């Protein structure tokens, strides 16, 4: 008699002598087969995720979405406490009020689903032209970046990019990726009791040394640009800032200057996606709005002078006339 292809003739003579029940034998064989199938599927998934980064990113994002925002906020608070102990935050009511004039308008561009995070902005005393965001909403902007900016829109553009890293949960995704494919698969198949156990394995110490991937950078550019447009802030500030940094970084690298790894550290922690400036140029040309932007009510020269005074820095020397760029706007780019 056969049961779905299984018959008593499959029992060995020794099994028959021992009187092994037929049902028990059938279940044992089925368990072995299920084990080998699971092993084969795990191997196939591992090969796919290692060979196809887009699928890996989709899996990481799916796992990150299972992590409650409250756990992510807790990680960010731990990292903030560590950073505040080891770095110098610029605490000046006038500077904070000026920065708030920019961030207040910028946050108006966030859709409802992205307002689950409470954003807090801090000025960090650091000459590096950089900014960073922690999970949960702490955003730091270096004094070097604020002094380098040539317009309020450039500051808003960089901050929009950092806010996008928070809302798209890139730090959390990067931490999960660092655990490797095996951990991703275990999390995906429910091998962790809950997402808090996964976070406990990662630890907040990874956050301060974390660098974003180029895929995350492209998504932050895309999302940040959308925030700027929704807030009616000229999005060209984001493009202009990265364009100037990229050109200066290339010049310093070609000249073998140490500044390429110092003052231009934004490009080291935020690796540029291929053709970033060209991509943002294309977004501007395709944009439906080329005027009617909100004026950010901050006197940037006065703001920068107050920041230099708070840091004890001397006023910069005027730039040589020949280094200034008086080239007209391209025909396809309307004046601001």
- pLDDT for the residue 32: 75
Domain shared by 36 and 88, yes or no: no
Please determine, for residue 258, whether its predicted confidence score (pLDDT) is greater than 50. no
Q: Is 324 contained in some domain?
A: no
Q: Are 296 and 105 in contact (CB under 8 A)?
A: yes
Domain-terminating residue out of 34, 51, 68: 51
Report pLDDT for 78: 86
279 part of a folded domain: yes
CB atoms within 10 A of CB 151: 17
Over residues 113-158, the pLDDT tens digits come to 999 999 999 999 999 999 999 989 999 999 999 999 999 999 999 9
- Cβ proximity of 63 and 188 under 8 Å: yes
Mind listing the pLDDT tens digit for each residue in 68-89?
A: 888 889 888 988 988 888 889 9
Q: Are residues 171 and 251 in the same domain?
A: yes
pLDDT recorded at residue 35: 73
pLDDT tens column, 166-196: 999 998 888 777 765 555 555 555 554 444 4
φ, ψ of residue 268 in degrees (nearest 5)? -85, -40
pLDDT of residue 329: 39
Q: What's the rounded mean pLDDT across residues 202-222?
A: 71
pLDDT at 261 over 50: no
Same domain, 88 and 139: yes
Is the same domain home to 62 and 23? no
- Residue 51: the pLDDT is 58
Last residue of a domain, one of 35, 51, 67: 51
Answer whether residue 331 is part of any domain.
no
Domain count, the chain: 2
| Containing structural domain, residue 42 | 19-51
Does 39 share its domain with 166? no
Residues 70 and 28 grouped into a single domain = no
DSSP string, 305-335: HHHHHHHTPPPPPPPPGGGS--PPPPTTS--
Residue 324 has pLDDT above 50, yes or no: no
Residue 316: the pLDDT is 82
Please indicate whether residue 109 or residue 11 has the higher confidence score (pLDDT).
109
Range 17-44 average pLDDT: 65
In-domain check, residue 270: yes
Kindly state whether residues 82 and 31 are assigned to the same domain.
no
- Sign of CA pseudo-dihedral 42, 44, 47, 53: negative
In a domain, 316, yes or no: no
Examine residue 13 and state whether it is found in any structural domain, yes or no. no
Domain shared by 47 and 141, yes or no: no
On whether both 155 and 248 belong to a single domain, the answer is yes
pLDDT given for residue 60 in this prediction? 75
pLDDT-derived band at 5 (thresholds 50, 70, 90) equals very low
- 7 located within any domain: no
Return the pLDDT at 82: 86
Q: Label each residue of the chain as H, E or C.
A: CEECCEEHHHCCHHHHHHCCCHHHHHHHHHHHHHHHHHHHHHHHHHHHHHHCHHHHHHHHHHHHHCCCHHHHHHHHHHHHHHHHHHCCECCCHHHHHHHHHHHHHHHCCCCHHHCCCCCEEEEECCCCCCEEECCCCEEEEEHHHHHHCCCHHHHHHHHHHHHHHHHCCHHHHHHHHHCHHHHHHHHHCCCCCCHHHHHHHHCHHHHHHCCCCHHHHHHHHHHHHHHHHHCCCCCHHHHHHHHHHHHHHHHHHHCCCHHHHCCCCHHHHCCCCCCHHHHHHHHHHHCCCCCCCCCCCCCHHHHHHHHHHHHCCCCCCCCCHHHCCCCCCCCCCCCC
Based on the fold, state whether residues 295 and 170 are members of the same structural domain. Answer: yes
Among 110, 164, 166, 160, smallest CA distance to 135 is for 166
Query: pLDDT band for position 26 (50/70/90)?
Result: low
Overall pTM > 0.75: no
pLDDT, position 34: 75
The pLDDT value recorded for residue 7 is 43
Shared domain check, 64 and 197: yes
**Residue 29: band (very low, low, confident or very high) from pLDDT cuts 50, 70, 90:** low
pLDDT single digits (tens) 300-317:
999 999 999 999 998 887
Do residues 25 and 72 share a domain? no
Rounded percentage of the chain residues whose pLDDT exceeds 70 = 62
- CA-CA-CA-CA dihedral for 273, 277, 128, 231, to nearest 10: -100
CA distance 313 to 306: 10
Q: Establish if 8 belongs to a structural domain.
A: no
């Amino acid at each position: 008699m056969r049961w779905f292809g299984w018959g008593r003739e499959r029992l060995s003579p020794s099994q028959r002598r021992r009187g092994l029940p037929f049902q028990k034998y059938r279940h044992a064989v089925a368990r072995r087969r299920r084990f080998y199938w699971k092993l084969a599927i795990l191997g196939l998934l591992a090969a796919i995720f290692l060979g196809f980064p887009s699928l890996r990113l989709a899996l990481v994002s799916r796992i990150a979405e299972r992590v409650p925002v409250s756990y992510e906020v807790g990680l960010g608070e731990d990292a903030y406490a560590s950073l505040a102990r080891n770095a110098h935050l610029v605490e000046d009511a006038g500077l904070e009020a000026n920065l708030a004039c920019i961030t207040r308008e910028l946050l108006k561009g966030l859709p409802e689903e992205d307002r689950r995070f409470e954003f807090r902005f801090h000025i960090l005393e650091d000459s590096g032209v950089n900014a960073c965001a922690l999970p949960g909403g702490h955003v730091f902007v270096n004094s070097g970046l604020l002094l380098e900016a040539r317009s309020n829109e450039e500051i808003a553009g960089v901050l929009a990019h950092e806010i996008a890293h928070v809302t798209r949960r890139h730090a959390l995704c990067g931490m999960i990726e660092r655990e490797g494919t095996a951990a991703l698969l275990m999390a995906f198949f429910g091998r962790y009791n809950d997402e808090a156990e996964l976070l406990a394995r990662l630890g907040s110490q990874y956050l301060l040394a974390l660098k974003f991937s180029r895929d995350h950078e492209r998504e932050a550019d895309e999302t940040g640009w959308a925030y700027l447009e929704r807030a009616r802030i000229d999005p060209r500030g984001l493009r202009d800032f990265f364009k100037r940094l990229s050109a200066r970084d290339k010049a310093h690298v070609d000249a073998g200057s140490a500044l390429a790894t110092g003052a231009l550290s934004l490009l080291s922690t935020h690796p540029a996606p291929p053709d970033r400036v060209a991509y943002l140029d294309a977004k501007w040309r395709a944009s439906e709005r080329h005027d009617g932007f909100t004026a950010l009510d901050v006197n940037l020269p006065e703001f920068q002078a107050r920041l230099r005074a708070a840091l004890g820095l001397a006023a910069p020397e005027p730039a040589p006339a020949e280094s200034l760029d008086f080239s007209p706007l391209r025909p396809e780019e309307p004046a601001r």
